[in-house]
Amino acid sequence: MHLVIGVDLGGTKFAAGAMTADGRQAFAFQSELTRAEEGADAVVARMAQLIDKVIADTIAETGAQRADFHGIGIGAPGPLRRKDGVVVVAPNLGWHDYPLSARLAAATGMTVTLDNDANCATLGEWWIGAARGAKNVVGITIGTGIGGGLIIDGRLYHGASDVAGEIGHTTIETAGRRCTCGNYGCLEAYASGPAIAERAREALDSNVRSLLRTIAGADLSALTAQQVYQAAQDGDELAREVVRDTARYLGAGVANLLNLFNPDVVVLAGGVTEAGELLLAPLRAEARRRAFRPAVDAARIVPGALGGRAGVVGAVAAFIAEHPVPA
Amino acid sequence: MHLVIGVDLGGTKFAAGAMTADGRQAFAFQSELTRAEEGADAVVARMAQLIDKVIADTIAETGAQRADFHGIGIGAPGPLRRKDGVVVVAPNLGWHDYPLSARLAAATGMTVTLDNDANCATLGEWWIGAARGAKNVVGITIGTGIGGGLIIDGRLYHGASDVAGEIGHTTIETAGRRCTCGNYGCLEAYASGPAIAERAREALDSNVRSLLRTIAGADLSALTAQQVYQAAQDGDELAREVVRDTARYLGAGVANLLNLFNPDVVVLAGGVTEAGELLLAPLRAEARRRAFRPAVDAARIVPGALGGRAGVVGAVAAFIAEHPVPA
């Protein structure tokens, strides 16, 4: 067997699993809390333990041997440098110029590759998911932040310094909301999970009646995007308005990508997709209104097929793209 | 000798010239008024005459033979279909589904390729101009409209239906100015030549003292972006403010491209570059403020080196990319 381990590192948890190099079989997917406050080396030590467990579970399940595992692909928050496997800045982890690949390679004795988490999620959907086999793909992952990845001609596009695809940090309002990146008017400042919750809170300030008051209780600061989707699905007008606005912002962002990249597929992934067609339908309509007809006609705009597994799957594919493995 | 003809078709004039396939020598560049009102076939007939003249002049200058000319590359306003050489819509020409390549091939007896005019300008700057040999390049051509082209890994990127690179029609204000494309808040609606003139006229409405009143005379409707740059260079405060705003809008657009594409070079071309450093310096500053540091550090933001010839040069390069010619 030819197996590769994938790891998806997030601020809250990290996940790992094994896959055959042909992408057909997946084994022992599991996750653990990141506990970034314990420091980067402690996170890597627990990551190595989880990988050991993935290997042991996969061996138990398949009868594979340890030598069948070719290496580890990790997806981590950017900006990062793929070449030497360094996470340059990861605010959610508190990391700065951390040599993640080298540390994990030392801890596991295996070859490690590093790529951006949203790149990996996009690559995963291209490899065996909703954008399978498409030539040019834009992936947008909407969660705590908004990440993106670009597949061009069947390969991840990284740009000159591994920054390419930062869709969340493109300006859609030049004098708009302040973004966590320091810029104003980024797509992320309008349509990330926390931004959706914030817009809902602002709307509640001026509107007494809404299911959201009941759902959120006394502490509005704990309101989540998921609660907004839930209330919208239950017919709450204020929540529906917030979801419609979210669709307009994301639709403008997607239209920009249609006119710039003219992709075959746009894959939307992450928590925001839990809103389903309530969000997707007006998002598609807004993108259609804004973008050029031949670009709209060429592109399918679809939710991801791999759910929370896309990052791990894509990290495996990213490893294979750098270190070809017999399929 | 191995020679290729380039043609750059615009709403006002078209230009043509011959180049050696190695890009080192250019001959007989000349242009003529388009006179679109005479109809597409009449334009093509005059285009064929101009090409004949380019060939005759080149032969006279170099001693080349007719058989040394391998074909014709045209750059035309999009959207268009490269595969069958059809201009789908060209509002400035009044063309709709016009088979430009086939008609010009019939009129000249030569092989013809078609590509977008802004793509050609970008490719020209990559081939022998300001972005020579760079791996990943974004080209932005600012004139009556704002066009763009993307070079990825040393090749023009066209996307699924030849729309890619429509930088002018990306939204920078979701509820912004109406654009000629029907959308609201496009970069083109703020920073094209006519948009710059329009913003200057609006500023004049509320501000009595400005050199622009003297320059433009009684008929403000004839005010041009060039006059705004001139007044700004002469120290007029209102004109300087308009140029600064233009730089802010373009800077936001460039920052979006830095974060999405992470290019090695951004080439700015077209009339707007006549403003020189008065525009470029604040544009670079705005892009730096908005984009991620590793993307800013990786990219040179430069004016084009080929001036009005970029389109013809790039049309030659686009022909060669499709029909390899010995250099």
CB contact under 8 A, B172 and A167: no
- Which two structure tokens, joined as six digits, stand for A109? 């004795």
Q: Which of A170, A249, A263 minimises the CB distance to B260?
A: A170
Mean pLDDT of B237-246: 96
* d(C-alpha B66, C-alpha B62), whole Å: 11
Q: Report which residue type is found at A141.
A: T
pLDDT bucket at A205, cuts 50 / 70 / 90: confident
Q: Report which residue type is found at A103.
A: R
Nearest to B90 by CA among B209, B4, B10: B10
Mean pLDDT of B279-300: 97
CB contact under 8 A, A163 and B258: yes
The string of pLDDT tens digits covering residues A283-314 is 999 999 999 999 999 999 999 999 999 999 99
Residue tagged 């239906």 (tokens): B161
| CA distances in angstroms from A151 to A64, A266, B70, B150, B291, listed in the order given | 32, 10, 34, 15, 21
Same domain, B265 and B148: yes
> Around Cβ A231, how many Cβ atoms within 10 Å?
25
Mean pLDDT of A50-78: 97
Residue A158 structural domain: 133-304
B91-94 long-range contacts (CB < 8 A, ≥24 apart) are B91/B180, B92/B10, B92/B11, B92/B36, B92/B144, B93/B9, B93/B11, B93/B34, B93/B36, B93/B40, B93/B43, B94/B36, B94/B37, B94/B40
Residue A242 has pLDDT above 80, yes or no: yes
Number of domains present in the structure of chain A: 2
* d(C-alpha A86, C-alpha A35), whole Å: 20
Same domain, B283 and B195: yes
CB contact under 8 A, A165 and B249: no
CA distance B253 to chain A (A): 8
Q: Is A140 on the interface with B (CB under 8 A)?
A: no
* d(C-alpha B228, C-alpha A23), whole Å: 59
Mean pLDDT of B20-24: 97
Q: Which of B166, B181, B262 minimises the CB distance to A161?
A: B262
In a domain, B123, yes or no: no
Whole-number pLDDT of residue B207? 64
Same domain, A175 and A287: yes
Same domain, A164 and A61: no
Mean pLDDT of B108-136: 97
Whole-number pLDDT of residue B78? 79
Residue A135 has pLDDT above 70, yes or no: yes
* d(C-alpha B187, C-alpha B136), whole Å: 22
Question: What residues of chain B lie within 8 A of the CB of A248, using their CB?
Answer: 174
Question: What residues of chain B lie within 8 A of the CB of A258, using their CB?
Answer: 163
What percentage of residues in chain A have a pLDDT greater than 70?
A: 99
Q: Is A160 on the interface with B (CB under 8 A)?
A: yes
Residue A207 has pLDDT above 70, yes or no: no
In a domain, B100, yes or no: yes
Sheet strands side by side (includes B26-33): B26-33, B13-20, B3-9, B69-76, B112-116
In a domain, B232, yes or no: yes
Whole-number pLDDT of residue B156? 97
Rg (CA), chain A: 20
The string of pLDDT tens digits covering residues B70-89 is 999 999 997 899 999 999 98
* d(C-alpha B260, C-alpha B136), whole Å: 12
Nearest CA in chain A to B165: A260
Q: Provide the CATH number for the domain around residue B234.
A: 3.30.420.40
Rg (CA), chain B: 20
pLDDT bucket at B131, cuts 50 / 70 / 90: very high
CB contact under 8 A, B162 and A294: yes
* d(C-alpha A77, C-alpha A95), whole Å: 10
* d(C-alpha B312, C-alpha B129), whole Å: 12
Lowest mean pLDDT among A102-111, A180-189, B7-16, B265-274: B265-274
Nearest to A78 by CA among A185, A191, A156: A156
Same domain, B167 and B289: yes
Nearest to A320 by CA among A58, A63, A106, A5: A5
Same domain, A59 and A169: no
DSSP per-residue letters across A36-63: GGG-HHHHHHHHHHHHHHHHHHHHHHH-
Write b or e for each residue in A93-103: b if 16 or more Cβ atoms lie within 10 A of its Cβ, otherwise e: bebeebbbbeb
Helix (H) or strand (E) holding B75: strand B69-76
Q: Which of A150, A172, A259 minimises the CB distance to B163?
A: A259
Whole-number pLDDT of residue A219? 86
Same domain, A71 and A106: yes
A81 exposure class (CB count in 10 Å sphere: 0-12, 13-18, 19+): middle
CB contact under 8 A, B289 and A183: yes
Helix (H) or strand (E) holding A197: helix A193-205
Residue A262 has pLDDT above 70, yes or no: yes
- Alpha helices by DSSP H, listed for B63-114, are 100-108
Residue tagged 């839930």 (tokens): A230
Nearest to B112 by CA among B327, B325, B326, B316: B316
Same domain, A154 and A230: yes
Mean pLDDT of A160-177: 96
- Which two structure tokens, joined as six digits, stand for B268? 């700015």
pLDDT bucket at A217, cuts 50 / 70 / 90: confident
- The model scores a pTM over 0.80: yes
Same domain, B213 and B284: yes
Same domain, B100 and B146: no
In a domain, A142, yes or no: yes
Query: For A187, phi and psi rounded to 5 degrees?
Result: -55, -40
The string of pLDDT tens digits covering residues B198-227 is 999 999 987 668 999 888 887 889 999 999
In a domain, B168, yes or no: yes
CB contact under 8 A, A79 and B160: no
- Which two structure tokens, joined as six digits, stand for A110? 């295996």
CB contact under 8 A, B159 and A183: no
Q: Which of B79, B171, B260 minimises the CB distance to A167?
A: B260
In a domain, A91, yes or no: yes
CA distance B290 to chain A (A): 5
What percentage of residues in chain A have a pLDDT greater than 90?
A: 88
Whole-number pLDDT of residue A327? 76
Residue ranges with strand state E in chain A: 3-9, 13-20, 26-33, 69-76, 80-81, 86-90, 95-98, 112-116, 137-142, 146-152, 155-156, 265-269, 300-303
Q: Is A292 on the interface with B (CB under 8 A)?
A: yes
> Around Cβ A217, how many Cβ atoms within 10 Å?
10
DSSP-assigned beta bridge partners for residue A156: A151
Whole-number pLDDT of residue A272? 76
Same domain, B70 and B148: no
Question: What residues of chain B lie within 8 A of the CB of A252, using their CB?
Answer: 171, 174, 185
- DSSP secondary structure code for residue B61 in this structure: H
Q: Angle at the Cα of A54 (from A48 to A57), degrees rounded to 5?
A: 140
Residue B272 has pLDDT above 80, yes or no: no
Sheet strands side by side (includes B86-90): B80-81, B86-90, B95-98
Q: Which of A152, A160, A258 minimises the CB distance to B262?
A: A160
* d(C-alpha B113, C-alpha B5), whole Å: 10
ipTM tops 0.90: yes
Higher local confidence (pLDDT), A266 or A214: A266
B27 exposure class (CB count in 10 Å sphere: 0-12, 13-18, 19+): buried
Whole-number pLDDT of residue B219? 86
Nearest to A69 by CA among A20, A120, A16: A20
Same domain, B147 and B247: yes
Whole-number pLDDT of residue B274? 83
How are beta strands B137-142 and B146-152 bridged, if at all?
antiparallel
Residues in chain B: 327
CB contact under 8 A, B260 and A164: yes
* d(C-alpha A121, C-alpha A116), whole Å: 9
Chain A residues 90-119 within an 8 A CB cutoff of chain B: none
CB contact under 8 A, B260 and A152: no
Mean pLDDT of A173-192: 94
In a domain, A300, yes or no: yes
Residue B326 has pLDDT above 90, yes or no: no
Q: Report which residue type is found at A31.
A: S
DSSP-assigned beta bridge partners for residue A142: A146
In a domain, A327, yes or no: no
Q: Which of A195-209, B168-182, B207-221 has the highest mean pLDDT?
A: B168-182
CA distance A45 to chain B (A): 29
Whole-number pLDDT of residue B205? 83
